[in-house]
């Protein structure tokens, strides 16, 4: 868990006054844990442990979980999914090579998608800068350009899914002894735990580990997640960063998530990573992924999601006008 200081924030469920938080939440999403508040949340949820922790997104730093374990009362077991992936690759070179090729193809697929997306976004910027002789014509042109971008996102997500499907069909991991052995060990550990805690790190690595070891079925128990962990629980993982050193990066669809969280795009540390003052840019981001809502997971935020996977009323989201707001009751 990162330990850089951050101003204290409340950890109560993020709901407006007069609205009760969901009862017996299935998934609890948190803001960044730079100042760890996990212990308070666990107590509020009435969870006693043992806890299974997934720290694979930190790769080589996966074993550095002392602070995480302490926040869980010393009653946690690290599933060590990153380490287990290394063991699978070492034991099965054929699978390791196929997985390497998959990652390289995915990287190129993402690069080409971004190249096209960059041109489409540039066209939107030019349209916004255009001074129309007839103001009525510009909104239609902008809407057309945004539809093209939404279509690009959808098609890219489909191609990524096809790539994963072909990889699973070709390698048949469930028939490989190294993978089967690790899956069996993980299942035995999970059987003795009350809840699962998903931390941050590299979302691609984390998502790959969750898929390889078929963790999704085990998430029928309470889940607490933040950062990349929260992103993996959605139906669509979106990468974003307006404050990168090289300038604003284009938000990009990356892959399908596990789908525990419905109609939501998780944006961890949104205020740190997005220019929320640019309402036009934020409005386009909100429209682009609608009807899914962009969930702002900032410091101190806690969002309890029930078994239906839908965001509760009061969840902090990006409004379609580009402003930060709260989700209204259905």
CA 62 to chain centroid, in Å, comes to: 18
- Using CB atoms within 10 Å of the CB of residue 188, give its burial: 0 to 12 exposed, 13 to 18 middle, 19+ buried: exposed
| Residue 14 · residue 298 · CB < 8 Å | no
Q: In this predicted structure, what is the pLDDT of residue 249?
A: 80
pLDDT for residue 223: 97
pLDDT in the model for residue 5: 34
**Of 212, 175, 178, which Cα lies nearest the Cα of 54?**
212
Q: Which two tokens stand for residue 159?
A: 């191609």
Residue 245's pLDDT is what?
61
Residue pointed to by tokens 């965001």: 311
Q: Classify residue 279 by burial, with Cβ atoms within 10 Å: 0-12, 13-18, 19+.
A: middle
Domain 27-92+176-306 has CATH 3.40.50.880: yes
- pLDDT in single tens digits along all 330 residues of the chain: 433 333 334 444 444 333 344 345 699 999 999 888 999 999 999 999 999 999 999 999 999 999 999 999 999 999 999 999 999 999 999 999 999 999 999 999 999 999 999 999 999 999 988 988 888 899 999 999 999 999 999 999 999 999 999 999 999 999 999 999 999 999 999 999 999 999 999 999 999 999 999 999 989 999 999 999 999 999 999 999 876 666 568 899 999 999 999 999 999 999 999 999 999 899 999 999 999 999 999 999 999 999 999 999 999 999 989 999 999 876
DSSP state letters, 64-132? --HHHHHHTTT-EEE--HHHHHHHHHHH-HHHHHHHHHHHHHHHHHHHHHHHHHHHHHHHHHHHHH---
How far is Cα 87 from Cα 62, in angstroms, rounded to an integer?
14
Two tokens, residue 28:
């609890």
Report how far residue 139's alpha carbon sits from residue 143's, in angstroms, rounded to the nearest whole number.
6
Domain boundaries, the chain: 27-92+176-306
Residue 146 host element (H or E): helix 137-171
pTM: 0.88
Residue 232 pLDDT: 97
pLDDT at 18: 38
| CA angle centred on 32, ends 31 and 33, rounded to 5° | 115
Cα–Cα distances (Å) from 319 to 203, 279, 289, 304, 310, in that order, read: 25, 10, 12, 20, 17
Q: Does an H or E element contain 251, and which?
A: strand 249-255
Both structure tokens of 176: 């490989």
What Cα–Cα distance (Å) separates residue 236 from each residue in 4, 290, 312, 319? 29, 12, 19, 18
Kind of pairing between the strands at 293-297 and 302-305: unpaired
Q: Give pLDDT, residue 244.
A: 65
pLDDT of residue 21: 42
């Amino acid at each position: 868990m990162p330990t850089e200081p951050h101003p204290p924030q409340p950890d109560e469920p993020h709901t407006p006054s007069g609205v009760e938080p969901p009862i017996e939440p299935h998934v609890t999403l948190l803001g960044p844990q730079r100042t760890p508040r996990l212990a308070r949340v666990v107590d509020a949820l009435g969870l006693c442990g043992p806890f299974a922790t997934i720290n694979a997104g930190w790769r080589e730093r996966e074993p550095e979980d002392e602070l995480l374990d302490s926040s869980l009362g010393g009653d946690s077991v690290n599933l060590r999914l990153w380490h287990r992936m290394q063991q699978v690759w070492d034991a099965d070179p054929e699978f390791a090579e196929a997985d390497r090729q998959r990652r390289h193809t995915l990287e190129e697929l993402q690069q080409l998608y971004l190249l096209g997306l960059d041109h489409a976004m540039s066209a939107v910027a030019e349209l916004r800068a255009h001074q129309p002789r007839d103001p009525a014509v510009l909104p239609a042109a902008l809407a057309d350009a945004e539809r093209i971008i939404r279509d690009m996102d959808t098609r890219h997500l489909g191609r990524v899914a096809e790539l994963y499907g072909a990889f699973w069909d070709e390698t048949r991991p469930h028939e490989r002894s190294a993978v089967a052995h690790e899956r069996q060990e993980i299942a035995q550990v999970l059987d003795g735990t009350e809840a699962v805690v998903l931390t941050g790190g590299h979302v691609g690595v984390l998502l790959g580990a969750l898929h390889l070891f078929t963790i999704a079925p085990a998430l029928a128990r309470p889940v607490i997640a933040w950062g990349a962990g929260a992103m993996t629980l959605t139906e669509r993982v979106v990468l974003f960063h307006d404050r990168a050193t090289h300038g604003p990066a284009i938000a990009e669809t990356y892959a399908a998530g596990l789908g525990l969280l419905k109609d939501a795009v998780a944006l961890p540390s949104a205020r740190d990573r997005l220019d929320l003052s640019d309402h036009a840019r934020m409005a386009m981001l909100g429209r682009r992924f609608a009807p899914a809502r962009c969930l702002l997971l900032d410091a101190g935020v806690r969002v309890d999601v029930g078994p239906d996977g839908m965001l509760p009323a009061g969840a902090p989201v990006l409004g379609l006008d580009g402003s930060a707001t709260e989700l209204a009751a259905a």
